[in-house]
Amino acid sequence: MIKVEHVVLDYGLGNANSVASCLRDIGCHVVTSNQAQQLKSAKVIYIPGVGSFNKAMEKLQQQGLVDVLNEIKLGGDTLIVGMCLGMQLFAESSDENTYTKGFGWIPGKVKHLSERVNAEHSLPHIGWNKLENNAEEKIFKFTSNDDNYYFDHSFYFDTHDEFICARTYYGDSFSAMVKLGNVVGFQFHPEKSQLAGKNLLIGLLNSYNIDRS
Q: How far is CA 120 from CA 27, 94, 117, 125, 147, in A?
A: 42, 25, 8, 12, 25
Known catalytic residue at 189: yes
In this structure, what are the phi and psi dihedrals at residue 14, rounded to the nearest 5 degrees? -175, 170
Task: Identify the H or E element spanning 33.
Answer: strand 30-33
- Alpha-helix residue ranges (DSSP H) falling in the chain: 16-25, 36-41, 53-62, 65-75, 85-88, 194-207
- Among the options 6, 22, 28, 84, which is catalytic? 84
Known catalytic residue at 84: yes
Are 17 and 9 a contacting pair, CB within 8 Å? Answer: no
- Among the options 6, 28, 125, 191, which is catalytic? 191
Q: Which residues are catalytic?
A: 84, 189, 191
